[in-house]
Every structure is written in C-alpha cells, then in structure tokens.
Amino acid sequence: MSESSTDDANPVRRPYEPVAYKKLSVIVPVFNERNTVVEILRRMRAVDLPVDREFVVVDDGSDDGTRSVLTQLGDSTVKIVSHPENRGKGAAIRTGLEHVTGDLVLIQDADLEYDPEDWPKLLAPMLKGKAQVVYGSRITGEHRNMLYLHWVGNKMLSLVTNLLYNTTLSDMETCYKLFDREVLRPIIVKSDRFDFEPEITAKVLRQGIRIYEVPISYAGREFDEGKKITWRDGFAALYALVKFRFVK
C-alpha cells in the first residue's frame, strides 16, 4: 500500500471496515476498436463478481465501423453513449461519469490489453474495507514486455508522481483504476486526453487518500496493432503531474 499527501480533506470512513458495495459501474472509452469491442464486452459479462454491474460504453467519435457494432450490443446492463467527434480518453471518461449509477467505478480499455478476469483482485481490498481507490499494477503482475521507451516513460512518470505526492506507486499510468464513487464526487476532471491518468491520481492523492495497488496481467499492443498513446502524451502527463500538484 502506498503513502499519500494530505493537501485536502479526505471523504473517508475508518479503515478495515467491510463495505457492502452493491454495484460496479465500468466505463469503457472506445475509439476505433471495431475488432476488439465485442470480445471485451463478452469478457466483462463473463466475470464472476459478488456485486451487480453496469457497463457504460462511450464511443469517442470512432470512424472505423465501431459505432455500428456498438448499436447491436446495448442491453439492460450496457449503456451506449456517443461523441460526434473524437475528443480523447479523458473526455470519454468524463462523459461516462455522467451516466454511472454504481457505488464503485472502474475504467476498462476496449483494446484487450487488460483482462477483466483481474477484476476480483481489484475488488477484494475494497470489499474488505482496506481501500477506497485501487490501481492494477502492470509492473508487479505477469505481463507481455513493453517497448523499452514505454517502460522508461512509465517508470519516469511514476517516479515523478511519488516525488511530488509522497507516495510509492509502481504504475501511475495503468488503465485499471477502481474508485469508491464517493471519492470521485468532489473531483472535477478537466483533462481530455491521456493526461486523465495523472490528473485523477493527483486529485485523489491530494485528498489524503491512500492508493492500494494489486498485481494484474497485461498484454500490451504495439503501434501496428492499434496502440494509440505516444511520446507526446508522456510529456503532457508530466506537465499535468506538476500542474495538478498546485492547481485544483
């Protein structure tokens, strides 16, 4: 478990009290994932969980036929929301947050890099009352090796996070971020793109909330397989870490 800074008041309960969460809301930002979105929804539906679930799929202006695929996937547990044009992962998550109804909120990418079979690992410390925010660490779990520059960039961003916010995260940039919804209520997300990751991390830590990490599996894609994050996003994330250390 990592340490955190205490800039802001913490909307917390006492630790180690089991919590009777009822519903997990999973936000799935999607951009041009026609080839994987059906499979990720199948995997999400198949996971055995001790809570109810809902899926909020946000199509972020896809132009590869993803939208027509999604129109066939909606049901009582799947909400499909669309952006008319591409706005970025952060903007898609912001839209998703407007539609969730669960008391737990999880981010799930649609590209099959992250496996929903890891959800029970993320949920366990929440249900036991050990945490209000849980991150899935690709660094400590089994994984397909990343490209070297991605690994270096991820290490650097996690190091800067730890220095600025007095914490010990191994994987700040992970997609798998699970929140008690009460933690998110006072947070206003401003980032539109991949700088969502440092922004939400900074604002959680500034509330004085400890982030719990669990190991997850990871099957990272290469650029020729559809990976979208670039070195420019790394610089944007670094800037966001510094900015949100001092700006709410």
Q: Which tens digit of pLDDT belongs to each residue from 214-245?
A: 999 998 755 444 455 665 767 888 899 999 99
What is the reported pLDDT for 153? 77
Hey, is 31 helix, strand or coil?
A: coil
Structure tokens at 73: 């996937």
Superfamily of domain 23-246: Spore Coat Polysaccharide Biosynthesis Protein SpsA; Chain A (3.90.550.10)
What is the reported pLDDT for 1? 39
What is the reported pLDDT for 154? 83
What is the reported pLDDT for 235? 84
Percent of the chain scoring above 90 in pLDDT: 72
Q: For the chain, which residues make up each domain, given as ranges?
A: 23-246
Q: Which tens digit of pLDDT belongs to each residue from 118-169?
A: 999 999 999 999 999 999 999 886 766 666 667 687 889 999 999 999 999 9
What is the reported pLDDT for 109? 96
Q: What is the pTM of this model?
A: 0.87
Q: Which residues of 124-139 are buried (b: 16+ CB within 10 A; e: fewer)?
A: ebbbeebbbbbbbbbb
Write out the E strands in 14-102.
23-30, 52-60, 78-83
What is the reported pLDDT for 231? 54
